[in-house]
Amino acid sequence: MNPVSVGVVAALVSLSGIVVGWLTARQANRRLNHEHADEEARLRLDAAMRAGELFSAKDSPADPAAVASGLLALTKLDNAELAVALLVNLWSEETPQVAPETAVLVVDAALRSTGNAQLVAAELLCRNANRLDPCHSLHWPSAIDGDWDQDFCPKTKLLLIDALVGMTLAHPNTEDALRSVAVRLYGVWRGDENPRVRGCVGRLIGAVVPALRQLGYIDFMQGKKTVLLSELETAAASGTHNPDGYLDRMVEDRCKKLCSWAHACEHADPATRLATAV
């Protein structure tokens, strides 16, 4: 064998060794990653079970702080679906075991997740809307406070919009509440490209626009969003009737109630409302 052939063979052997080493290292890394993922899943499950133990007081109601800690721990462990399922009983109107602020944080986490948790969260929010204050930022999920996920399923959207209206109608007729519902409705209208959703929300916005004009302002702020009166008027002009007769009657009912509620709104005193609004 001539020197050139010997060199080629040596190079091929060396290259084969490098390839085999690379493949071995890749398989080892893949195995380690798989083991790490399994261990992380086991730790998450263990932590979730420990969080669930906080609700299992036998002789007396669970401590509110422990309940809140357990629910929020579950959301941080990517178990928002379990957390919101537990919230069904813990946030009951008869014997609530969590504060509205804690419940809304759990709902917020569920709305940011995927699957059935979003629908359960929306239904819980709608069910308890009359106990929420539209002027308190902690009483509304930040996930939909000025923002909107148009990928929510239709029923989730309907429940969230009805929760917003219900929360408003259950609150005293104040300027702060009027500004709040207007900006939040606009966030839905702007964030959803579905013409049916825009048409329904546009009608709801149209129900409060006359009262907004009476305030004499050209812009309105809620949370991190500022909306111009002209933008609200544009949204109101897009209002249309829904081909679904049942939904159309529902929207008509909410529009009439919102219009009546907004017409009776009183001006707020900024000197006494700022701290509450923040």
Q: What is the pLDDT of residues 103-150, one digit of tens each?
A: 999 999 999 998 889 999 999 999 999 999 999 989 999 999 878 999
CA dist 240 and 201 (Å) reads: 9
Q: What is the pLDDT of residues 231-270, one digit of tens each?
A: 999 999 999 999 999 999 999 999 999 999 999 886 555 5
Cβ(200)–Cβ(251) under 8 Å? yes
Residues written for the chain: 278
Q: Which residue has the higher pLDDT, 62 or 77?
A: 77
3-state secondary structure at position 66: helix
pLDDT score for 277: 46
Place of tokens 């204050």: 133
On the question of pLDDT at 9 being above 70, the answer is no
Name the pLDDT band for 197 (thresholds 50, 70, 90): very high
CA dist 158 and 154 (Å) reads: 6
* Token pair belonging to 197: 């959703």
One DSSP character per residue, 112-146 reads HS-THHHHHHHHHHHHTGGG--TT-GGGS-GGGSS
Name the pLDDT band for 278 (thresholds 50, 70, 90): very low
User: Which pTM does this prediction carry?
Assistant: 0.78
Q: To the nearest 10°, the Cα dihedral for 180, 257, 127, 167?
A: 20
Name the pLDDT band for 96 (thresholds 50, 70, 90): confident
